[in-house]
Amino acid sequence: MKETVREMKAKKRKPQKHSFILILALLLAVGYFVISFISAQLEIREKEKQAAEVRAQVEQQQAENERLQAVVDGGDEKQYIERVAREKLGYVMPDEKVYYDITPSN
């Protein structure tokens, strides 16, 4: 029943090998989770940045829609079309005379 010193040392070594492997596995698992967490945080920040850009675009488009709706609701659609035709397309009314200033400016 008495164990020899060698047997006692042999029993002590086995748990050490298992505990070393267990510690190594735990460290690897913790490292994996830390890297995954950091990666997820970076991805969240990027998505939040994209969401803010999209929100800004939506607000800009809503402002444009409101402006256009005001033109349509205001009843001045005809005036708006006439102004666009004159300014952007260079159209004039049939009996209208157009004068251009060709004097050089200093």
The answer on pLDDT for 89 being more than 70 is yes
Cα(59)–Cα(46) distance, integer angstroms: 20
- For the stretch 34-79, pLDDT in tens is 999 999 999 999 999 999 999 999 999 999 999 888 777 766 777 7
Are residues 94 and 88 in contact, defined by beta-carbon separation less than 8 angstroms? no
Task: Extract the tokens encoding 8.
Answer: 């006692």
Domain boundaries in the chain? 5-87
Q: What is the pLDDT of residue 75?
A: 63
Report d(CA 66, CA 68) in Å as an integer.
5
